[in-house]
Amino acid sequence: MSNIDPANRHRTPARSRGEPGTCLPRLAPCRRHRALSRLASGAPFLTSLALALTGACAAPADDVAGDAAGANSDPPATQPIEADHFVPSTPENVTWGWFPIDKEPVLRIQSGETVRVNTLTSAGAAQDENPVDFLTGLGIPREEIHQDVLDFWASRDGRPRDVGGGHLITGPIHVEGAEPGDVLAIEILSVETRANWGINSTGARSGVFSTSYPGFREGDPALDIPPESGRHVIHTGMADGVEVAFLADDIHVPLEPFMGILAVAPDPVMGQPGVTAPGVQGSTPPGAFGGNLDVKHLKTGTTVYLPVFHPGGLFYVGDPHGAQGDGEVSGTAIEQSLTGTFRISVRKDRSIEWPMAENDEHYILMGIDIDLDRATRHAVRAVVDFLVEEKGLTPAKALSLASIAVDFRINEVVDITQVVSGFIPKSVFLR
């Protein structure tokens, strides 16, 4: 179904539709073998990026039942980015905890078109207790609870829950012309808060302190966190012209909203992380298809590249985060409903095997593995491959540059498979 946002019926003016980028000279060649039996970082490419971007904007007027109270709680009053299409987070557009490969697309678009997508956090929408009782019990006013939270909660019965994760995911979006072996380029034009609150959860055995965490050893102590104090409602709003999370009266955390999940429909292989039933990829572990990457740097102004496994690509987006530190060490970020605007294009000139990204300052090469050491090794290999194939360096010179100029960041360590990314600074290349 093709839904046009009634507040945004205009075309995005940054450039003509169907044009994947204003400065995309080429993709470096990659190794053609698709090693789906291993979790490693694939052969890289990437391009220079030139985007006409605007800042974050407020949610549509009809998106929230009521506005936040208080002088410091109003969202930024800037104009929304115009888009070709709009996809609301209604129950029929949202899946729960997995990436169906045969679901009817919620939208069909042409390559290069823009789409504005609402996403829902599962916090408040997926528990057994009625959302109004649950959220008002946490101190969230009834008028600040989205209608689509209530609608999704009411639709839970009959949804498959024997496999998969807990994320709410909007999609899929079918991109005409995308075929297996192509690349889907997702330009993140804006990411905006829909609500002025989010929830972060902590526990004595949550995140890296869980007994299921790969680094756990018998005898490792738990944190002293009573069960009743582990759920944190965090209000967000404006302070001194900046959108922040009010963690405490004297602690303001700048918001950097991003989508934890950016994915194409996967090619599930039994035995791989998150695949416990034929054809069903759970949403918890990221992989070659993208998914629950939880890379905080995939925000406004970034382009993400994903390999295509099925006709149309079938783009999914969800797990919205208001702010997150690298690692997401408690197991959650500020889980906060967001709206994202994306330009989605098909690239046919090269293929890739694993997700990667770029922004104005960096090429971002990802390594993904159950083992954090292996994920780091894969990220380093991806950086070396990129520097050899795209920049013409020898492997020796590429590894040298990786060691002296590239930052390797632990993006997430709590989603079964772990993500490490190498950030190659574009500024070191004089041409």
pLDDT at 345: 98
Mean pLDDT of 8-14: 36
pLDDT tens figures, 261-312: 999 999 999 999 999 999 999 999 999 999 999 999 999 999 999 999 999 9
Complete domains list, the chain, with CATH: 85-428 (2.60.120.580)
Mean pLDDT of 159-185: 93
Q: Mapping DSSP to helix (H, G, I), strand (E, B) and coil, where does residue 259 land? A: strand
Mean pLDDT of 387-399: 97
pLDDT tens figures, 206-236: 999 999 888 899 999 999 999 888 899 999 9
pLDDT tens figures, 306-333: 999 999 999 999 999 999 999 999 999 9
Token pair recorded at residue 124: 């408040």
Residues 418, 293 contacting (CB under 8 angstroms) = no
For residues 204 and 59, the model is more confident at 204
Mean pLDDT of 152-165: 85
10 Å Cβ neighbour count for 424?
27
Any idea how long the chain is?
431
Does residue 380 register a pLDDT over 70?
yes
Rounded Cα–Cα distance for residues 84 and 67 (Å): 26
pTM for the full model? 0.84
Does residue 198 register a pLDDT over 60?
yes
Write the secondary structure of 84-140 as one string of H (helix), E (strand) and C (coil): CEEECCCHHHEEECECCCCCCCCEEECCCCEEEEECCCCCCCCCCCCHHHHHHHCCC
Token pair recorded at residue 7: 């507040």
pLDDT tens figures, 54-76: 333 333 333 433 333 333 445 55
Mean of per-residue pLDDT scores for the chain: 85
Share of the chain above pLDDT 90, in %: 75
